[in-house]
Amino acid sequence: MSMRALTGLKPIPPSEITPREVFLDRRRFLAGATAAAAGLGTAAPALAEEMAMKLPAARNAAFSTTDAPTAKKIITGYNNFYEFGMGKSDPAASASKMSVRPWTIEIGGAVEKPRTIGIEEVMRLPLEERVYRFRCVEAWSMVAPWIGVEFNKLAALVGPTSKAKYVRFTSVVQPSVMSGVRAEVIDFPYVEGLRIDEAMHPLTILAVGLYGETLPNQNGAPVRVIVPWKYGFKSAKSIVRIDFVEDQPRSTWMKLQPSEYGFYSNVNPAVDHPRWSQARERRLPDFFASTPTLPFNGYADQVASLYAGMDLKKFF
């Protein structure tokens, strides 16, 4: 239950969320409009850094939750993106300095056609809107209307071989604009990984947008992975490199605290983290952590079979 309910204030329905014009100042708004008129991908790099562009995509209802999306202000104002510092509002305050054009992803490893793919090409893949629950290991959750493409569509472009047992994602490092990188708060670049069947699952997407626009920098622009049945840290941001590999990748958090962060990190109310009970979650901006956490974050019907026969307490 939210304190709003207690105090008689109504939660903000998604339709009333401030339109983007209010979020952008006039100069940036005009620059965005000009660039949008010029077409995706041809925007001047200096302008592209700062602006959100419209990114129309039809909602895939079959893969979307009917839960009300969390207000944009919260999704874009409360982030863990340690490259920009460890405070939840640090990314929103400083990620705008990150350069997101030009942007390429190097795809290599156990694939038939290793290649470098530009962000423009990724954005020409069949994009759709997916409204997913997003559950952080810190026991808070949101509902986010991502825009993206199934990861398996990208994989098809490079043709993973039989040796591709896992996928490793590497995030960008731009020390001059990333205070957390300069302070070496953890080892960078940030690395995450999935088993190949997890990566190829239709729920796993590469997100390039949020709320009908290109992804804000603090949410991992210009392209990030979203794996909705795992804790948020598995969904690496601002990806510059994707490797198909034979051995299980060692992710950043596994290296930092192997006893606390496992490779799988599936949302699981029955397996507690040493710091946080995972039985309930706080659906932001609720006061009370009154929402029961569901196995696989509510996606058990789609993904539980991937783990048939596995002891999920052992493979946490």
Partner 1 sequence: MRSARAADGRFAWATSDPVRALKPLVFLLCLAPALLLVHDVLYDPEALGANPAETIEHVTGDRSMQFLLGTLAITPLRRITGWGKLIRFRRMLGLFAFFYGVLHLAAYIAFDHYFDVPAILADIVKRPFVTVGFAALVLMTPLAVTSTAGWIRRLGAQNWSRLHKAVYAIAVLGVLHYWWLVKRDLTWPMIYGAILAVLLGWRVWNETLGRQRRRPARVRARAEPGPAE
SS3 state at 5:
helix
* CB of 74 vs partner 1, minimal distance in Å: 4
Cα–Cα distance measured from residue 66 to residue 61, given in angstroms and rounded to the nearest whole number: 8
Question: Is residue 274 near partner 1 by the rule CB under 8 A?
Answer: yes
60 annotated among ligand-binding-site residues: no
Considering only 38, 61, 86, 310, the residue that binds partner 1 (CB under 8 A) is 86
Question: Is residue 165 near partner 1 by the rule CB under 8 A?
Answer: no
Nearer to partner 1, 61 or 279 (CB): 279
Question: Is residue 17 near partner 1 by the rule CB under 8 A?
Answer: no
Considering only 132, 140, 169, 244, the residue that binds partner 1 (CB under 8 A) is 140
Backbone region of residue 307 per phi and psi (left: phi > 0; alpha: psi in -120 to 50; beta: other values): alpha
According to DSSP, the β-strands at 239-245 and 104-109 are: parallel
- Total number of residues binding partner 1 (CB under 8 A)? 31
Question: Is residue 18 near partner 1 by the rule CB under 8 A?
Answer: no
* CB of 181 vs partner 1, minimal distance in Å: 14
Cα–Cα distance measured from residue 279 to residue 267, given in angstroms and rounded to the nearest whole number: 10
Determine the interface stretch with partner 1 among 166-174, 242-250, 277-285, 304-312 (rule: CB under 8 A): 277-285
Burial class from Cβ neighbours inside 10 Å (0-12, 13-18, 19+) for residue 126 reads exposed
CA–chain centroid gap for 267, Å, is: 15
Determine the interface stretch with partner 1 among 13-21, 113-121, 220-228, 288-296 (rule: CB under 8 A): 288-296
Nearer to partner 1, 88 or 195 (CB): 88
94 annotated among ligand-binding-site residues: no
Nearer to partner 1, 288 or 315 (CB): 288
State the amino acid at position 203 in one-letter form. Answer: L
The most distant pair of C-alpha atoms in the chain lies apart, rounded to whole Å, by 59
Whether 124 and 179 have beta carbons less than 8 Å apart is answered as: no
Q: Which residues of 52-90 are buried (b: 16+ CB within 10 A; e: fewer)?
A: bbebebeeeeebbbeeebbbbebbbebbbbbbbbeeeeb
Which parts are annotated binding residues for Mo-molybdopterin?
Answer: 79, 82-83, 136, 171, 219, 224, 235-237
Residues engaged in binding partner 1 (CB under 8 A) = 3-4, 7, 9, 73-74, 77-78, 82, 86, 88-89, 138-140, 185-186, 272, 274-275, 277, 279-280, 282, 284-290
